[in-house]
Amino acid sequence: MQVTSSVRQPLVTGGKTYHDVTHDVCRQVEGKPSKLWFLAFLTAFGVLAIGSTALLATLWEGIGMWGLNKTVGWAWDITNFVWWVGIGHAGTLISAVLLLFRQKWRTSINRAAEAMTIFAVICAAMFPIIHMGRPWLGAYWALPLPNTYGSLWVNFNSPLLWDVFAISTYFSVSLVFWYIGLIPDFATIRDRATGLRKIIYGALSLGWDGAAKTWMRYESVSLILAGLATPLVLSVHTIVSFDFATSVIPGWHTTIFPPYFVAGAIFSGFAMVLTLMIVTRKVYKLEDYITIGHIELMNIVIIITGSIVGIAYITEFFMAWYSGVEAEQYAFINRATGPYWWAYWSMMTCNVISPQLFWIKKIRTSIVATFALSIVVNIGMWFERFVIIVTSLHRDYLPSSWAMFYPTLVDVGVYLFTFGFFFTAFFLFAKFFPVINMAEVKSVLKSSSEKAHK
Amino acid sequence: MERDTHFILGVYDDEDVLLHAVEQVRGSGVKIHEVYSPYPVHGLEHVLGYKRSKLPIAAFLFGMLGLTLALTMQFYMMKFDWPMIIGGKDYGAFPDFVPVSFEMTVLLAAFGMVGVFLITSNLKPWAQPRIFDLRSTDDKHIMAIDLANNSSLDLDKIKEILTESGATEVNKKSFE
């Protein structure tokens, strides 16, 4: 029944049987964590603890603790927000868009990528919430709740409110998508376990029994969720870009923003997936599941999206010149040659030049090179948001109010806090949850592994 | 339930053997209770004769509900309850309401459909599923045949049909 291609590389190597898949993945959940895991977890938790002092300082004293001034009213906070949301695009893209395109290689990486998405979106959502200054009152400013002002409602004409709906929908739908995929795997762990673990994973698996009828509904749910999540992924960063594009600030007011932001988000998201997966496959010895083939395919996505981003940078410059609007032209000349020239050229080097190295097969199939470049890409993408936000603001229409932005320790600390949170959550996930979607890998095993044929 | 407590289980290693086996077993007049698999086997629902799931309809209806709620909420708040001129636009500035309407359509469609899925498949944290064979979530496909439903057939005959269809093991399973 299954058609095996003699041209394509097998998705799972090492001649794994169905039982091997179960064993290799469940082993991580069932065994005692290694010393390396404890070291990594404690480091992440330590960063979280140090960063939390900056978070407390922000909540206690207010956002005056940040380096903002009256000219530059958005800087690190919104840069970090957009950066984390961008990273949070890979997971659902891998599980939804690649499912619709029948890209079966997604099965080994979708679980961890989706987990990463969820944690990244939590990190992202933190910044708009704390930048409200009094986040405990934020529900009245962000949600359409009746209040004591009459009711004076939230403003549905504002892209900032669209963002509230986009991010919260994206987060909750991604979470549900992730959990539905986890149910059969929790059942696998439950059926191997005894005692307390059996009770916990039994509850988590919601009484899954693998009946053909349930699988049929499960497949139907996955397909429709993928269909719903695909436009959702594209809409989220589109709406984030509206925060800028619908304003009248030179450097922000461009129609190119939505596709350019979405491409950038996928670019940085895949880079973060690579950073994490290269470490995970090594520590958990999952080289047979996350193969060089997987890494190469992800690098190809990075070349494509990186090239789109590069073209967008050049198009922006061209349009600034071609529009004949002096303020627009100045904003772009100032980006490249003004006081923040170093941020601009870091961005250009990291995002435009470095991904082009992946055209060379030796580089895109090298683990060391991929790991290094995946970090370079994310540094570049952080600078991209910094350049767009800060350089567009710091020299506004009135030269007397021109200013520079310098981050304070609290700015840095809050950013560190999100890093600590992200990695703490990811390490906990990697210990207690099956990092590879066993059921989906098993469903592609027969067509892609030599041994399962026999 | 007194009736369905005694089962005959056919254990299969391979999904393709299973698909043929289901056709063969049903062809011999044996009624299959259910097949349990560690992963989704494509085409299994067809050979078992299951009707297509109606979940897409549920998703569509919940999506429409989300869209209606979103548009009603936005027009009520912005045009009728507290009208304000914002950016020189009309009170009911429909293009501005598109993003939130889209998001709420997706949100309700996804949550509604998943809710219906969990309820119809009886998935809940306190559920106590009947596990016929622990390997059915690992590497084996288990075909369960309810003896009460096949009382016209001889026990040995059913076992023979299962072995002939390619089952690697044929076991008996009874529940308390």
**What is the C-alpha to C-alpha distance for residues A23 and A19, in angstroms, rounded to an integer?**
6
Mean pLDDT score of chain B: 86
Q: Is residue A1 scored above 50 in pLDDT?
A: no
Instruction: Say how many C-beta atoms besides its own lie within 10 A of residue A213's C-beta.
Output: 17
Q: What is the pLDDT of residues A387-419, one digit of tens each?
A: 999 999 999 888 899 999 999 999 999 999 999
Q: Is the peptide bond before A151 cis (omega within 30 degrees of 0)?
A: yes
pTM, whole model, 2 decimals?
A: 0.91
User: What per-residue confidence (pLDDT) applies to A428?
Assistant: 92
Inter-chain CB proximity A219 and B36 less than 8 Å = no
A104 touches chain B (CB under 8 A): no
Look-up of token digits 């995946």: A374
Domain boundaries, chain A: 18-141+154-453
The set of residues, in sequence order, having a beta carbon less than 8 Å from that of A174 and lying 6+ positions away, is A88, A91, A92, A114, A117, A118, A121, A229
User: What per-residue confidence (pLDDT) applies to A9?
Assistant: 67
Q: Which two tokens stand for residue A37?
A: 């895991």
Q: Is the dihedral of CA A4, A9, A13, A19 positive or negative?
A: negative
Q: Is residue A452 scored above 90 in pLDDT?
A: no
User: What per-residue confidence (pLDDT) applies to A420?
Assistant: 94
**What is the C-alpha to C-alpha distance for residues A348 and A310, in angstroms, rounded to an integer?**
8
A290 SS3 class: coil
A242 SS3 class: helix
Question: What's the pLDDT band for A440 if we cut at 50, 70, 90?
Answer: confident
Of chain A, the percentage scoring pLDDT greater than 90 comes to 52
Which residues 227-266 of A are in CB contact (within 8 Å) with B?
228-229, 231-232, 235, 239, 242
Of A156, A180, A214, nearest to B114 by CB-CB distance is A180
**What is the C-alpha to C-alpha distance for residues A271 and A370, in angstroms, rounded to an integer?**
9
Q: Which two tokens stand for residue B128?
A: 């106590």
Nearest CA in chain B to A23: B138
**What is the C-alpha to C-alpha distance for residues A156 and A192, in angstroms, rounded to an integer?**
51
Q: Which CATH architecture has domain A18-141+154-453?
A: Up-down Bundle (1.20)
Burial (CB < 10 A; 0-12, 13-18, 19+), residue A415, is: buried
* Cβ-based contacts of B17 with chain A (< 8 Å): none
**B contact test, residue of A214, A223, A449 with most B CBs within 10 A:** A214
pLDDT, one tens digit for every residue, chain B (176 residues): 445 678 888 888 888 888 888 888 888 888 888 889 888 888 888 888 888 888 999 999 999 999 999 999 999 998 998 888 888 888 988 999 999 999 999 999 999 999 999 999 888 888 888 888 888 888 888 888 888 777 777 888 888 888 888 888 888 887 77
Inter-chain CB proximity B37 and A210 less than 8 Å = yes
Is-contact A161 A138, C-beta < 8 A? no
Among candidates A305, A313, A307, which has minimal Cα distance to A254? Answer: A313
Amino acid A173 reads V
**What is the C-alpha to C-alpha distance for residues A224 and A218, in angstroms, rounded to an integer?**
10
Q: What is the pLDDT of residues B19-52, one digit of tens each?
A: 888 888 888 888 888 889 888 888 888 888 888 8
User: What per-residue confidence (pLDDT) applies to A2?
Assistant: 45
**What is the C-alpha to C-alpha distance for residues A322 and A325, in angstroms, rounded to an integer?**
8
B97 touches chain A (CB under 8 A): yes
